[in-house]
Structure 1
Amino acid sequence: MTKCIIGKCLLLQILNRRKMTQSDLSDMTGISKTQISEYINNSRKMSLSNAFLIACVLKVDVLDLYEYRIK
């Protein structure tokens, strides 16, 4: 059976490359700073709708938000 294993969130690296803060992203998406911090610290996974929203705002592919592998 094939599985997709979701790894580390890459959001902080993307924000750093864009010289953006978690607060900037929160303001642009309406997602709370606490929730964004939880994504970055890998204590919470993004919902699909939030992943698409964040990817759209950051102009990245949704697949760029997490490390993943197909097993």
Structure 2
Amino acid sequence: MQRQLARRNKCSNRWNKTKQCINKLHGKTSRQRFNFAYKTLRQIANENEILVFEDLNVQRCKSLMAVCWPPKSCR
């Protein structure tokens, strides 16, 4: 579809129809991803009594790994 769109004259009727079709497909994919994430979340929530979330500072973890890894015994 995107190849077809690239070959069409921009802002023509065919281009607009193709663009609309691509947007529908992207929307469908987005909804499927959200649905899968929601179902997985609900399954985990229903199977467990307590859920704990931790807010990790990923950038800091990466910088610490760069400094501390590999261990000195491996160098």
Quickly name the TM-score band, shorter chain normalised: under 0.3
State the structure with bigger RCO (CA 8 A, min sep 6), 1 or 2. Answer: 1
Structure with the higher helix share, 1 or 2: 2
**TM-score where L is the length of structure 1:** 0.22
Larger of the two Rg values belongs to structure: 2
TM-score, length-normalised on structure 2? 0.21
Greater strand share, 1 or 2?
1
